[in-house]
Amino acid sequence: MLKVGSLFDGLGGFPLSAYHVGMLPVWASEIEPFPINVTAERFPAMKHLGDITQINGAEIEPVDIITFGSPCQDMSVAGKRDGLVGGRSALFYEATRIIAEMRAATDGAYPRYAIWENVPGAFSSQRGRDFRAVLEELTDTEIPIPQSGHWEKDKYTGKREWVIGWAPAGMVRGNGREVAWRQLDAQYFGVPQRRKRIFLVCDFRGERAAEILFEREGLPGHFEPGGETGQEAARDIGERVDTASYGFKRAAGTAGTMRACEEIAPTVRANRNGEPAVLYDISDRRRVAGESEGVCPTLTRKMGTGGNTVPVYCYPEPASPVLAKGNLSRRDDTGNLAVSGYTVRRLTPLEVNRLFGFPDYWAHIKGASDTAIYKAFGNSVAVGCVEWIMGRI
């Protein structure tokens, strides 16, 4: 049985996905109290290691796979773009330090694989130099600059610099290692959310990274770019694997939750009264989901932390005009927005839970606030994407 360790664990998306395919999550590192409380409740046998800067990879239990969705704030196009030198995104090097320490202590036996997840902005961060640094750090060798790219004038210095044009999927080899990466969108992995993320697999034996991330067209598991978005909620974890060997704890009374909650969470079904739902990100006038598709815009780490940071769900109702806060339609004299013929409300915590592919009960622990749930999911991974990768490993 393959063992998994999760750095920057958050709500436990990587351990949950590992569990789904028959792997054993043995330890995790996280510092935010609410996500720790959630995973401690769901995985009581999984050890919590705390602050990543205080972990010595040579002293913790060796694992076959180390996962890390390192902080993306400094590489996101919505951030300051400080890149890997930024205070948060620089923690990437803490993860690679732990990996190196474990490999040194086990004569290169563990881990066999590393999985890194991050925002698409990592491709262009610091004019593409940051992604090159990621590849060089994981392969421990110099990676040549791709010929694709363009010249760009720096808005501060006025100097023209070459911006590396990284492809959304690729593979490099070096120092006996193979690294493959691919940009995946959660909407093609069973949830109605547009969530594009880079997933990178490093095989330290240099054999199978590309085989894991890439598949021939037409084979089972191949996802067409324009494929239909699934609308099912997360499957019941209790029916997947024997929980006794994992120490996994499922919330009591959750059997049939998917069916019982269907009517109070119509967003996941993406329609109402037979018509498509309309999902808006009211925090940014420029980011509006396709009205005919019922697919949610990307849910961000700022959700629930102030301002209009939770997308709203807008569905047709044969009723009088409804007033709602946000950038939806014309404003009335009070500053509210008049949306004629629609009911407008924020996404519920349950809907957000489902938009990431987690079981319905996952984050609903004692004392959980809506704000904490929104924020934690905004930082999370889409389970479907990770489970697909874990399954191919």
Pairing of strands 24-28, 47-48: parallel
213 and 122 within one domain:
yes
pLDDT at 54: 97
pLDDT tens, residue by residue, 221-234: 444 443 333 333 33
For residue 364, tell me if it sits in a domain. no
CA-CA-CA-CA torsion for 330, 331, 337, 340, nearest 10 degrees? Answer: -40
User: Quick one: 278 and 219 in the same domain?
Assistant: no
* Amino acid occupying residue 304: G
Please indicate, yes or no, if residue 138 is contained in any of the structural domains: yes
Determine the residue type at 292.
S
Q: Has residue 261 been placed in a domain? A: no
Radius of gyration of the chain (CA): 22
Widest CA span in the chain? 70
Both 219 and 84 in one domain: the answer is: yes
Whether 271 and 195 map to the same domain: the answer is no
Task: For residue 251, tell me if it sits in a domain.
Answer: no
* 68, 16: one domain: yes
pLDDT value for 302:
75
Identify the CA nearest to 179 among candidates 130, 213, 217, 220: 213
Residues 211 and 170 in one domain: yes
- Assigned domain for 134 exists: yes
Residues 231 and 300 in one domain: no
Cis peptide preceding 111, ω within 30 of 0: yes
In this structure, is residue 359 part of a structural domain?
A: no
Same domain, 110 and 208: yes
Full pLDDT tens readout for the chain, 393 residues: 999 999 999 999 999 999 999 999 999 999 999 999 999 999 999 999 999 999 999 999 999 999 998 775 545 444 454 565 555 567 899 999 999 999 999 999 999 999 999 999 899 888 899 999 999 999 999 999 888 899 988 877 888 988 898 999 999 999 999 999 999 999 999 888 889 999 999 999 999 999 999 986 644 444 444 333 333 333 333 333 333 334 556 554 443 333 334 444 455 554 555 555 556 655 554 444 444 356 777 887 777 666 557 777 766 665 444 444 444 444 444 444 445 566 677 788 898 899 999 999 999 999 999 989 999 998 999 999 999 999 999
340 and 199 share one domain? no
- Extract the tokens encoding 292: 């005919």
- Residue 257 pLDDT: 34
Give φ, ψ of 382 to 5 degrees.
-80, 120
Q: How many domains does the chain have?
A: 2
Would you state the pLDDT for residue 217?
Answer: 61
In sequence order, what are the beta bridge partners of 197?
184
Residues 66 and 111 sit within 8 Å (Cβ to Cβ): yes
59: domain CATH number is 3.40.50.150
Same domain membership, residue 145 and residue 35: yes
In this prediction, residue 296 carries a pLDDT of 76
Q: Is residue 318 part of a domain?
A: yes
Residue type, 360: D
Residues 195 and 283 in one domain: no
Domain holding 221, by residue range, is 3-238+369-392
**For position 225, what pLDDT does the model report?**
46
According to the model, what pLDDT value does residue 194 have?
A: 87
Same domain, 189 and 323: no
The answer to the question of residue 233 being in a domain is yes
What is the pLDDT, as a whole number, of residue 345? 75
